[in-house]
Amino acid sequence: MADLQDELHPTTEVGALDELPEPFVVAAPAPSPPDPDASPLRRARALLAAHPVADGYCGLLSALRGLPWYDLEMGESALDTDVPRLREGHVGALFWSLHLPEGTPAERALSATLDQLDLVRAVVRAHPEGLRSADTAGEISDARYCGRIAVLSGPAAAAALDDSLAVLRSLRALGLRVLTLSGTSWASGPGLTRFGEEVVREMNRLGVVADLSGASGATVRRVLAASKAPVLCARSGARALRPHPFNLPDDLLAALGAAKGLCMVPLAAEQTGPSVRDVADHLDHVRRVAGPASVALSGTYDAGVAHPQELGDTSGYPHLVAELLERGWPETDVALLTWGNVQRLLRGADFAARAAQLRRPPSTATLAECDG
């Protein structure tokens, strides 16, 4: 049938001359053509393509509990988080919160946390094109090179331990990576008890990262002193800009920076304010006080909080990064903010764990022995 087709691009007969193009005329340099590649949003997208967002707190698991059916790969309007919007927002890794609904009875905390860990596996397995479980910095990078969004398990509530270090070890074996140190007898307002310190040392040995958002100032200081591994605050802004119990005062921000920890600033209107500029103000402040190596991002999507304008779902990160570029953040600092700092934190935690395992056997300390 090919001979019935008209030739779309007739070739020149042999011996005839090809039509030559018009001679190239060098145009006079335009006075100032706006370079579209230089617009902050474009630069933000290009930068995020190389250094995607590692998001410190995603509430997806609890939001999914209320949905009988869902498909994250096709897009899910009932949620702030789904694969298309994660990709649009250049999210490369997510920490999935295992926190329990308010009012979960203490004796159910562990079983409910095991259910959450089970749900992580099930959801990741149900979306193999979009998501991949990861635990280490290397696995996060692997997921990224395979075009998958890395999912890490945690933070979980400390109540899940049921005051047992053996339970902590079992949860680690099931993939738990971050534990929020608040709401127990050994990590509360007055700070860490002796058992609390032993929990931190065992977390160091296992590579479970401490999350101190919501912990008391005394607890934060004791953990910073006791922990051999860097810690994080999974959703904390600057209290100097906005009072909120989870936001950190400047002295703690400075201490966190000195300890190479991470303040992960939430995109939560209640904590940061209602606009992109407000969030950027917090990031500016944390970067100035704690240092560029100690600031990171925390989407807090699907966690039941209101988000600033333009940051209503997981696709909004480029707007925030554009704002930072307009404020003159060097690209290297933006890369640390979105991706590099979380990588460093996880590497630091794993390094500390390997060092501790050479030195320390599994701890058999009990709450009763330590705290009487």
Partner 1 sequence: MSAPTALERARELLGEFPVVDGHNDLPYALREQVRYDLDARDIAVPQDAHLHTDLPRLRAGGVGAQYWSVYVPSDRPGAVPATLEQIDCVRQLIDRHPADLRAALTAADMEAARAEGRIASLMGAEGGHSIGESLGTLRGLYGLGVRYMTLTHNDNVAWADSATDEPRVGGLSAFGHEVVREMNRLGMLVDLSHVAATTMRAALDTSTAPVIFSHSSARAVCDHPRNIPDDVLERLPANGGMAMVTFVPKFVLQAAVDWTAAADENLRAHGFHHLESSPEAMAVHRAFEERAPRPVATAATVADHLDHMREVAGIDHLGIGGDYDGTPFTPDGLSDVSGYPNLIAELLERGWSRADLAKLTWQNAVRVLSAAEDVARDLRAIRPPSNATLASLDGAEG
Residue 173 beta carbon to partner 1: minimum distance, rounded to whole angstroms: 6
Residue from 87, 136, 139, 166 binding partner 1 (CB under 8 A): 166
* Window 263 to 322, contacts with partner 1 (CB under 8 A): none
Cα–Cα dist 266/233, whole Å: 10
Residue 178 beta carbon to partner 1: minimum distance, rounded to whole angstroms: 18
Residue 363 beta carbon to partner 1: minimum distance, rounded to whole angstroms: 10
Residue 366, interface with partner 1 (CB under 8 A)? yes
How buried is 357 (Cβ within 10 angstroms: 0-12 exposed, 13-18 middle, 19+ buried)? middle
Nearer to partner 1, 77 or 364 (CB): 364
Nearer to partner 1, 11 or 364 (CB): 364
Q: Give the range of 9-17, 159-167, 258-266, 273-281 binding partner 1 by CB under 8 A.
A: 159-167
Q: Give the range of 52-60, 165-173, 211-219, 335-343 binding partner 1 by CB under 8 A.
A: 165-173
Residue 124 beta carbon to partner 1: minimum distance, rounded to whole angstroms: 12
Residue from 169, 194, 242, 260 binding partner 1 (CB under 8 A): 169
Q: Give the range of 169-177, 221-229, 315-323, 342-350 binding partner 1 by CB under 8 A.
A: 169-177
Residue 103 beta carbon to partner 1: minimum distance, rounded to whole angstroms: 17
Residue 209 beta carbon to partner 1: minimum distance, rounded to whole angstroms: 20
Residue 308 beta carbon to partner 1: minimum distance, rounded to whole angstroms: 34
Nearer to partner 1, 172 or 344 (CB): 172
Residue 174, interface with partner 1 (CB under 8 A)? yes
Residue 207 beta carbon to partner 1: minimum distance, rounded to whole angstroms: 16
User: Which of 215, 165, 156 is closest to 190 using CA atoms?
Assistant: 215
Q: Cα torsion at 184, 94, 356, 197 (round to 10°)?
A: -20
Residue 254, interface with partner 1 (CB under 8 A)? no
Residue 163 beta carbon to partner 1: minimum distance, rounded to whole angstroms: 8
Nearer to partner 1, 171 or 267 (CB): 171
Residue 370, interface with partner 1 (CB under 8 A)? no
Binding mask 105-144 for partner 1 (x = CB under 8 A): --xx-xx--xxxxxx-xx----------------------
User: Which of 203, 246, 249 is closest to 226 using CA atoms?
Assistant: 203
Residue from 170, 217, 228, 371 binding partner 1 (CB under 8 A): 170
Residue 326, interface with partner 1 (CB under 8 A)? no
Residue 11, interface with partner 1 (CB under 8 A)? no
Q: What strands lie across the sheet with 178-180, from one edge to the other? A: 131-133, 149-153, 91-96, 53-58, 295-298, 262-266, 232-233, 209-211, 178-180, 156-157
Q: Cα torsion at 15, 16, 21, 22 (round to 10°)?
A: 120
Cα–Cα dist 350/211, whole Å: 16
Q: Point out which residues pair with 263 in neighbouring strands.
A: 233, 295
User: Which of 316, 254, 249, 315 is closest to 279 using CA atoms?
Assistant: 316
Residue 185, interface with partner 1 (CB under 8 A)? no
Contact footprint for partner 1 (CB under 8 A)? 107-108, 110-111, 114-119, 121-122, 161-162, 164, 166-167, 169-171, 173-174, 362, 364, 366
